[in-house]
Amino acid sequence: MATAVRLRGVEKRYARTHALRGIDLDIEQGEFFALLGPNGAGKTTLISILAGLARASAGQVQVMGHDVARDYRTARRALGVVPQELVYDPFFTAREALRFQSGYFGLRHNDAWIDELLHHLGLADKADTYTRHLSGGMKRRLLVAQALVHKPPVIVLDEPTAGVDVELRQSLWGFIRRLNAQGHTIVLTTHYLEEAETLCQRVAMLKDGRVVALDRTEDLLRSCAERVLVLELDGDTPPDFLLPRIRGREGRRLLLALPDLADLEGLLAGLRAAGVGVRDMSLRQADLETVFLRVMQGARP
């Protein structure tokens, strides 16, 4: 599969900060890819370098085979970025802002696509409203539309649902999924890890400017395979044979390690033999948040 984004040995140094430390990363065309990390990990710096807003101190960055420094015009046409910050011109209407953005890329007759963007992003009834009168959620929708107005093959979403209501979040992801199905490469940064787990095929985790984990989402989840059995028992004192398995408590509920599902039958048989009744029981699987916390705690700068 062809590569949409390629980074080799990417470094970024500021006066007192080493923001990126030798990033090597390939994102394939058509992927839905998550770039995760705590605040200060280097995600926004990396996106700024991709977008041409900052220059790497060392290394090479390509978008759709075009070097972002040497062939910057073509590289930037291949990229659409939705920034974290709400950036807008208060004196344009939503439609005017999209037409103006189209002009940056030499697109004169783009109204049909603009109308489609306004419709799918729930902005059709606000098309002739000045951006300064839009709500925060509406302004964020407009940022998404501006990033997509030139139909870039690679779309970078930097915290696109921050401060956005549930309805918009669902409609936005439906639209982005459709673009991905049509072949667009999506790069997502988000603090809502359930979004990354649901949407993204692969995940890279950054800490202190380094990639500390990179794998398919399902393989990362499998790497944190310990299940937790949540039990609420009759009585306050659990039988002795459970004690080695207890990992914590939530009120009256016990959190028990369950490495293998085959152990469950033996545990229940032991409780019956001990005359202890089970009031409630559930099984928790590892999620991406659990994996993320383990990776961040185990990684070293």
Contact 75, 64 (CB under 8 A): yes
CA neighbours within 13 Å on the CB side: how many for 168? 19
pLDDT of residue 252: 87
Q: What Å distances lie between residue 44 and 36, 128, 138, CA to CA?
A: 11, 32, 23
CB atoms within 10 A of CB 81: 21
Q: Is the model's pLDDT at 301 over the cut of 60?
A: no
Cα–Cα distance, 120 to 210 (Å, whole number)? 36
pLDDT of 226 reads 66
Report the C-alpha gap between 261 and 269 in whole angstroms. 14
**Which CATH superfamily does the domain covering 3-78+152-222 fall into?**
P-loop containing nucleotide triphosphate hydrolases (3.40.50.300)
Alpha carbon distances (Å) from 226 to 24, 229, 245, 261, 284: 30, 10, 12, 10, 9
Reply yes or no on whether the pLDDT at 64 is more than 60.
yes
CA gap 76, 20 in Å, rounded: 21
Percent of the chain with pLDDT over 90: 57
All CATH 3.40.50.300 domain ranges of the chain, comma separated, are: 3-78+152-222
* Position 51 pLDDT exceeds 60: yes
Read off the pLDDT of residues 93-144 as tens digits, 9 standing for 90 and up: 999 999 999 999 999 899 999 999 999 888 999 999 999 999 888 898 899 9
pLDDT surpasses 60 at 292: yes
Closest CA to 236 of 252, 248, 225: 252
